[in-house]
Amino acid sequence: MIWVCVLLLAVCVALLLVPACYNAWARRTLERRMSTAAREPGTDILLGGGPITIDRGRPRACLLVHGFMSSPADFGDLPEALDRAGWDTYVPLLPGHGTDPRRLEGLRADQMIGGIERELLRLHERYPRLVLVGFSIGGSIAVILSGRHLLEGVVLVNPYFASSYLPRHVLPPRTWHRVLSPFLDYAVRGSDVASVNRPEGASRLVCYRVIPTEAFGEVFAIADRARQCGPADVPLLVLVSEGDATASPRATMRFYETADVSRKTLVTFGRSDHVLLLDYDHQDAVGRIIGFLEALEADH
């Protein structure tokens, strides 16, 4: 009986001590990373992760929405390719992104969606023709906003509707979040976790490595809302990496199959992970997007 009590006491101590030690280490890691992070000159934006604006006064534009805990760098060479194809291009920062992960603390799903919606409304005042391009959670936001605003078309690049499950996860990511979020303030990603197979692409990523655990709950909420509302009936292009270890390709396929859209196209890629536009298939993916836009041009 005494040994049982000692064991229970040891478990209780561990349950208190381990999270406290982890949180202390995560905070030190965050502070160290932020204190040494390179910034865009004269700003608090992480170097290479700033918003992109290509405004040449044309009558058509693309609004690109990047992924969670990441930055406009997710899109690689796509903004320049869109410019060459004759489209003004805007890639804003999601609220709380591209600067310091602590800005995600207390940030809600509606604030992330609202930040992009304000940009969309601003562009609608100037451009009679507007295409929304969303990557990862940006894809979920694009689906939500497509039901509220008149668009020329929608492009989804590995949209996040659910997490991929891998055997090494043991439990589904949402289950881990429910279990651990009451105890852990931050999640720390290793520097080798890039979601990009191509080394040259991984080196271009600008993203947070330490993330408030509460923020993941808001991402799940955005994904749930996108699945429930579905896309508007506008031309739809969906690009999917078959080996995406972050956003479930199966969930994206289900979304595509059930999307009540009169004109839709699905393209799959076999060599890339989640950040498709920085990975081995990036040139093909960019070409598919440009081809989609050229088809829209042919309709006018």
Domain that residue 1 falls in: 1-32
Is 219 buried (19+), middle (13-18) or exposed (0-12) by CB count in 10 A?
A: buried
| Same-domain check for residues 5 and 145 | no
pLDDT of 44 higher than 90: yes
pLDDT band per the 50, 70, 90 thresholds, residue 206: very high
| Same-domain check for residues 131 and 26 | no
DSSP, collapsed to helix, strand or coil, labels residue 187 as: strand
pLDDT of 192 higher than 70: no
CA-to-CA distance for 216 and 208, rounded, in angstroms?
13
Residues 6+ apart with CB under 8 A from 230: 143, 147, 255, 258, 259, 260
Residues 6+ apart with CB under 8 A from 103: 95, 96, 97
Is 63 buried (19+), middle (13-18) or exposed (0-12) by CB count in 10 A?
A: buried
Which of 98, 121, 117 minimizes the C-alpha distance to 52?
A: 98
pLDDT of 148 higher than 50: yes
Instruction: Kindly report, residue by residue over 51-71, the tens digit of the pLDDT.
Output: 999 999 999 999 999 999 999
Tell me if 47 is assigned to some domain: no
CB 43 within 8 A of CB 50: yes
Q: What is the number of structural domains in the chain?
A: 2
Mean pLDDT of the chain: 91
Tell me if 11 is assigned to some domain: yes
pLDDT of 12 higher than 50: no
Instruction: Kindly report, residue by residue over 88-132, the tens digit of the pLDDT.
Output: 999 999 999 999 999 999 999 999 999 999 999 999 999 999 999
pLDDT, residue 193, reads 60
pLDDT, residue 189, reads 81
Q: Tell me, what amino acid is at 190?
A: G
Stated pTM of the model: 0.93
CA-to-CA distance for 255 and 8, rounded, in angstroms?
47
| Same-domain check for residues 2 and 115 | no
Tell me if 38 is assigned to some domain: no
| Same-domain check for residues 176 and 281 | yes
